[in-house]
Each structure stands twice: as C-alpha cells, then as structure tokens.
A and B are shown apart, each in its own frame.
Chain A
C-alpha cells in the first residue's frame, strides 16, 4: 500500500456490519489488487493526497454474499470472530477485517490457527476486545424494576456490543419484560416477556423519560449484602479497583 501511494483506492463505508461487508465485496470485485485498496470508515477523517475515495452504498445482498463465503470457505468460527470485530470501536477495523479475509480465503479454515500472522493477530485482537466488553456487561449490567413490571438497564459500552449482550438476557430472563439502553448510541434492546427481542433506536426525550422513572428498589438490600460479604482482615481496595475500574461503575448499583 504505502509504496504505491498513487494507486491506493480507499473504500469509505458506513460503520455497521452491512456497510463493512459491502465494502469488502466492492473492494474485492474492483480487482485493483489487495495491495492497492484500503477500507476506511466514513467520517470526518482527513483525506490523503494520492488516494481515490469511493463511497460505498450498503447493500445487504452483497454483504450476505461475503458472509456466506466466509462461513462456507473459512469457517463458522471465523465468521463469528469477524462479526464481533465489525462491532469494535477501533477506527481501522474495516481494513483489519479485509486483510484477515484476504488471508482467510487463501488459507481456508487453517487461518484460525495461524497466530503468527499479523493479519490474524490484528483481527483476533479486535475480536477479543469486543468479546471481553460484551462479557463484561453480562457480569455488570444492572437492572432496576420500573413501573409496569419492566426491567430497565443502562450501558455505555465503547464498542457496539448491545446485540451481543441482549441474547444472553433474553435467554435467561425469557419471562421478563426488559429494556437495555445504550446511552451513548441512543438505541435499545427490547424484550417483551415470552417473545423475541429486537433493537430500536430511541429519541432523546423518550430516553430521558425512561431514565427519570423511580426504580422499585432492591438496591438497598443488595448494597447491604455487598458490603457485609467482604472480609475486613482481607480488605483490599486497590485490588477491587484493579478488577473493577472506576470508569466502569457508572450504572452499577452497588457503587451508586
């Protein structure tokens, strides 16, 4: 890429799985050679000289073809890793996914073992980052019971993990009405009792109305438990802080 600046074509894609996989399709189909294309998220980043920029229109059909090819020719496991990577907060994720797929379509399923390859390492780093954050919310998400028997939780994840977190709760709380709000992105996962969950974008005012309701509280009981269960002689606030960094405590009941 860098050694042929005159020929780099940049595919600008929307920051969601459809956008990214459509860009993979277009870049591949352009036949400009993998070294001469780059994928980049749309956004205010500065344009470089000597690059052609092509905006990509998300096309679910093209995206589906890419997804199908990954599942068929690489593996299901690879697809899951790539999907999680596509939700990452990382700016360069579109190109990292592209480089991984170049290797993946070349080596097939074995690519998942080629941990010495930078293209593989970079993708796995994203996968791990997103997976860890999603796992974090299965641990530390907290619901409050609101009026009309609705469980309500707030999160502010760095990567877009709501769609990975919601199924976990839909499975274990299948009989509950719940709503998980991604405060930063203003959209929510909604689960009506006994039905399947869906994502919905939520207007600011709606969100604020939700946020201002008073919870029907078990909070105090939980806080009582949380403090009684610590052993005084082993008290270790530094350790607690390193396991549960302050910046993650925003909505966590026992630290409110």
Chain B
C-alpha cells in the first residue's frame, strides 16, 4: 500500500480525522482527577463536551487515526485495503503536538486514538504505545486518553498501553460470529474477545491493588451496572459461548503491577484504564435482530464488566453485494431505540429478556422500550406514588433515575401532588397513565392496552418526526431529567448523548 509522502499537518489531519469519524465513542467520562503541578490537564468524572459537529454529535476528544493504511479488508470499512483512498500517517510527535496545542486552547478534553493495521498488529500497537508514552512522559499530559487495543497484538504491549490510558476499547464490530465471518474475515470473535478479557483482568487486578480505592462520587455510582444473579441452571442468555469467552483466571491480589518507567502515577487512583473499557457494534450492516444485539450487549456488561457499549448506525459507503447499497440511509431511529434499551439495562435494572424475546425480536419503533414494556405489564399499574419503592418507581414510563430519587426524598417531608411531581421532573405526558397520587389519577382513563398504545405512540411522535426531519433527539430529555430541579452542572456525557428519560 502506497503511503502518500509530503502532506502537511493540516492535510494529514483532514484525512485522519475524516477516517476516524465513524467511531462513535467520543466521550471523556469515567476518570476523575485534579490537575497536578508540572503537568497539563485534568479529568472530570462526568466528561466534558467541547463542541458539536455538523451531524449534531458531541466532540469531546481529538478523535483521529494514527494511520488510515490497513492491511485488512473489512468490507464495511472506509479504510479497507481494497479502497482507493489517499493513505497517510501521523508520527507520534505530531499527535502529541496536536493534542497539547488543542488542549491548552480548550478545544478538547484529550485524545481518542485509533488506527488501521500498519503491517502487523504488534507494530501498530507499539506505535500507539510510543505515542502515549511521549504524551504522558515527555509532554506531561494529564488529561483524558481513550485508546484502541489492537486485536492480535502482544498482550505485553496492551498491558503497557493500558497503564497510560484512561479508557481502552476493542470494537466487537458485528454482533454475531456469522456477521464477522462474512464481513470481516480477518477478525474472529476470539481474536476480539481475548484483549477485551485481558483488559478486564487488568482493571480487576488494579482495583485489588488499591485497597482503599477512592469510591466514585454519588452521581457516578449510577454508572455501575446492577449485578444480576443468573438463576441456577439457566445458561446465560446466549451470545458468548464458553469457548469464545476465555475463563477469567483466578486472581492473586498479591501480585502487583510492575511500574513502567512511563506510567503516569495517578496520585491516589488507578493505574490501569481507570475509566474502564468500552466497545462498539455496527448496526444494520448485517441482518441481526435487535434481540440478538441487546443480548450481546447484556453479556458484554455482565461477563466483561464493560462501561459502555456503543452502537453505530451503518453508513453505507462501500459497494459490495453483501452490504446495503451505498446511499441507504443509516438506521438512526433503530440506533436510538437501542441506546434507550441500553440505558434501561444499565440504570433501570431491566434485563434484555424483559424487553425483547425471540418471538418479539425487534423494538417497537413507535414508542420507547420502557413504554412498550409497561404496555405489556399493565397488571403492575397504576402505581401509587406515595407508596411505591424506588425500584418500582424506576419502571414507570416518564419517571427517570433522578425524579425517582427526588420522589423518595421529597415524600418523606410532605405529600406530593401532580404539580409537585412535575416540578420533580416527572413527565406526566407519559407517567400520567401509569400512576396514582394519593389515590387520584391524573386523568380519568382506562388502563386499556389499545388505547394506551395509541396515546403513547402519539406522545412519541415528535421523536419520530424529529428523526424524519433530521433533527434527532440527542438532548431531547436527558436520562437525569434535569431540566427542572437539579443543582449544578450535569454530566455532559449523559445530557448530551442519546438517551431519553424513560
């Protein structure tokens, strides 16, 4: 593959940011550290968003590829070896300069570095490591770094890199083994899951190393996934077969990590991927159902301790009989429903099998997954606001995590009427159908499935219209439903990512 020489920094930046744009995880959350004399940078637990691109997505990090040259030929990818595009690369020093100069001007929170495969996975990973090492050790950069682990690279290199990064990710790319086989034959499930498992073990080992690991602040607790107990005898929902997910080795807490010379010594915190691990799946390039995708998501959270699973609606750009034709619009509403369901898994204690089943494998596009669930469980409603416990409140459409907490706090002091609920952030347009307040209903209605389906789908219509008009709903309502009452700044990551108070 011919690498274009003599491009200037601006031309390289244009090519290598353009080539990185399909990666979705531009967030800077999960690490929390103050600045430090002699370094530049800090990290804020909720993340900071710095701009919005013309597609309305948040820009938080300098998201670039080290190189867009790649020896592989994954069919869905703009950088695949068979595409005729200009190839270039950044030197480690160029990446450092851009990061430092952008950071001090407050353009970015840090760096998100990914790369095509230059000759071999090892060589690629080593260059990434060198870049991070220079950035931390020579430039003394103390801000956020998200870096890709390259499947197939030497575990030692991944370990060293993880000691310099805040977040690492390995993209699962496609939800099923078959999907991978057809579209990315050079990648196998095992090859992808191996570094994912390694990073998970590294994070666990590190948390044992720190006996009094600083517990995250209250708000960030919610980023922890509720632990489900698998019912005995029941096999985990599907997706990762035993031979795919290498067993977690028993961990010996006495072995501590070696200090690499370049490792940033996080003053009192973690030394290995403190902001956790994420991954990404492409939606709509292959025929998997929502049920399959959501089950894989759940397995990733439960079996690999992932912090986030991202979905990327496939943008049809390559001509290939195995792919949707170029110009096919990306399935944005479907992506949105997946994010809503993902939210329900992580913060609302739902399990995938409650939302979808093999018999009902797709989301209802006309209402959010929580309303859809509630309609199928009318026997649990109406719920009395003055009595329902926190977990039950969370299941009511229109009541979010924060409003549920506020209800529990406020009702200790005075009884709540509908007006007060509104001020606490409850969306009565939806919740109104499902609750009573001191025995009274919001409107006199029957809890009738057909009637409610119509009414709720009407309520959701604006969301769908916004997608059709191309407005989207990124900030329409935030998970933390904070447009009414909270104090202080919000988690940017949360407020500005796709969500929806459900």
Interface residues of A, Cβ cutoff 8 Å to B: 81, 84, 110, 113-117, 121, 124-125, 127-128, 131-132, 134-135, 138-145, 151, 153, 169, 171-176, 194, 218, 220-222, 224-240, 242-244, 252-254
Binds A, one of B40-48, B69-77, B231-239, B251-259: B40-48
Extra 18 A-B pairs, beta carbons < 8 Å, given A116-B416, A172-B41, A233-B315: A115-B406, A117-B414, A142-B105, A151-B105, A153-B106, A169-B106, A171-B34, A172-B142, A175-B38, A175-B40, A221-B102, A224-B17, A225-B102, A229-B18, A230-B55, A236-B54, A240-B56, A252-B51
Q: Are B14 and A174 in contact (CB under 8 A)?
A: no
Partner of B53, one of A175, A221, A226: A226
- From DSSP, what is the main secondary structure of chain A's interface residues? helix
Please determine whether B414 and A116 come into contact, CB atoms closer than 8 angstroms. yes
Query: Hey, which bits of chain B sit against chain A, CB under 8 A?
Result: 9-10, 13-14, 17-18, 20-22, 34-42, 48-59, 62-63, 98, 101-102, 104-107, 142-143, 313, 315-317, 329-330, 332, 406, 409-410, 412-414, 416, 420, 423-424, 469-472, 474-475, 482, 485-490, 492, 496
Q: Which of B41, B107, B332 contacts A142 (CB 8 A)?
A: B107
Beta-carbon nearest neighbor of A170 in chain B: B35
Q: How far is the CA of A138 from the CA of B212 in the complex (A)?
A: 31
In whole angstroms, what is the CA distance A87 to B22 when docked? 41
Given the interface contacts A221-B9, A234-B56, A244-B51, does A239 sit within 8 Å of B474 by beta carbon? yes
* B105 adjacent to A145 (CB under 8 Å): yes
Contact of A171 with B17 at beta-carbon distance under 8 Å, contacts A176-B104, A231-B315 already known: no
Cross-chain contact of B48 among A138, A142, A222 (Cβ < 8 A): A138
How far is B50's CA from A142's CA once the two chains are assembled, in angstroms? Answer: 10
Cβ B35 vs Cβ A171 within 8 A? yes
Q: Which residues of B contact A239 (CB under 8 A)?
A: 52, 55-56, 470-472, 474
Smallest beta-carbon distance B88→chain A, Å = 13
Chain B residue nearest to A219 in the complex (CB): B105
CA of A117 to CA of B413 in the docked complex: distance in angstroms?
Answer: 10
* B56 CB contacts on chain A under 8 angstroms: 234, 236, 238-240, 243
Residues of A within 8 A of B142 (CB): 172
Give the contacting residue for B485; candidates A121, A225, A234, A238; CB below 8 A.
A121
Question: In the bound complex, do residue B410 and residue A114 qualify as a contact, i.e. CB atoms below 8 Å apart?
Answer: yes
Residue of A nearest to B415 (CB): A116
Q: Which of B51, B53, B98, B102 contacts A140 (CB 8 A)?
A: B51
Residues of B within 8 A of A243 (CB): 52, 56, 58, 474-475, 496
Contact assessment for A127 and B410 in the assembled complex, using a CB-CB cutoff below 8 Å: no
Contacts of A231 in B (CB 8 A): 21-22, 53, 55, 57, 315
Count how many pairs of residues, one from A and one from B, have CB atoms less than 8 Å apart in the complex.
199
Given contacts A173-B40, A230-B21, contact A116 B14 (CB under 8 A): no
Q: How far is the CB of A152 from chain B (nearest CB, A)?
A: 10
Partner of A151, one of B104, B332, B409, B475: B104
Q: Which residue of A121, A145, A222, A238 has the most chain B CB atoms within 10 A of its CB atom?
A: A222
Q: Tell me if B488 and A244 are in contact (CB < 8 A).
A: no
Smallest CB–CB gap between B400 and chain A, Å?
15
Judging by beta carbons under 8 Å apart, are B35 and A240 in contact?
no
User: Can you pick out 7 interface pairs between chain A and chain B where the beta carbons lie within 8 Å of each other?
Assistant: A113-B412, A116-B414, A172-B35, A174-B37, A230-B53, A233-B316, A239-B474
Contact A139 B17 (CB under 8 A): no
Given A115-B424, A171-B35, A231-B315: A124 touches B485 (CB 8 Å cut-off): yes
**Distance between Cα atoms of A70 and B140 in the complex (Å):** 41
Report the bound CA distance from A171 to B410 in whole Å.
36
How far, in Å, is B484 (CB) from chain A's closest CB?
A: 9
Q: What is the distance, in angstroms, from B29's C-beta to the closest C-beta of chain A?
A: 13
Q: Which of A115, A125, A151, A218 contacts B410 (CB 8 A)?
A: A115
Complex contacts, A233 vs chain B, CB 8 Å: 315-317, 329-330
B contact residues around A124 at 8 Å (CB): 485-487
A113 touches B475 (CB 8 A): no
CB distance from A227 to the nearest CB of B (A): 7
Shortest distance between the CB of B242 and any CB in chain A (Å):
38
Given A115-B406, A176-B104, A228-B18, CB of A139 within 8 Å of CB of B57 = no
| Neighbouring B residues of A81 by C-beta, 8 Å | 487
Residues of B close to A176: CB separation below 8 A: 40, 104
Flag if A225 contacts B17 (CB, 8 Å): yes
- Closest Cβ of chain A to B166, distance in Å, is 14
Of A135, A153, A220, A254, most B-chain CB atoms within 10 Å? A135
- Among B18, B57, B316, B496, which residue has its beta carbon within 8 angstroms of that of A234? B57
Check A253–B105 contact: CB distance below 8 A.
Answer: yes
CA distance A249 to B41 in the complex (A): 24
Docked complex Cα distance between A57 and B374 (Å): 59
Most chain A CB neighbours (cut-off 10 Å) among B14, B330, B485, B489: B489
The answer to whether B315 and A115 touch across the interface, beta carbons within 8 angstroms, is no
- A139 CB contacts on chain B under 8 angstroms: 48-51, 492
In the assembled complex, the Cα of A142 lies from the Cα of B472 at a distance in Å of: 27
Q: A114-B410, A228-B17 are in contact. Are A238 and B98 (CB under 8 A)?
A: no
A225/B13 contact (C-beta < 8 A), A121-B485, A127-B487, A238-B469 known: yes
**Contact yes or no, B55 A131, CB < 8 A:** no
Measured in the bound complex, the distance between the Cα atoms of B62 and A254 in whole Å is 14
Contact residue among B104, B107, B413 (Cβ-Cβ distance under 8 Å from A110): B413
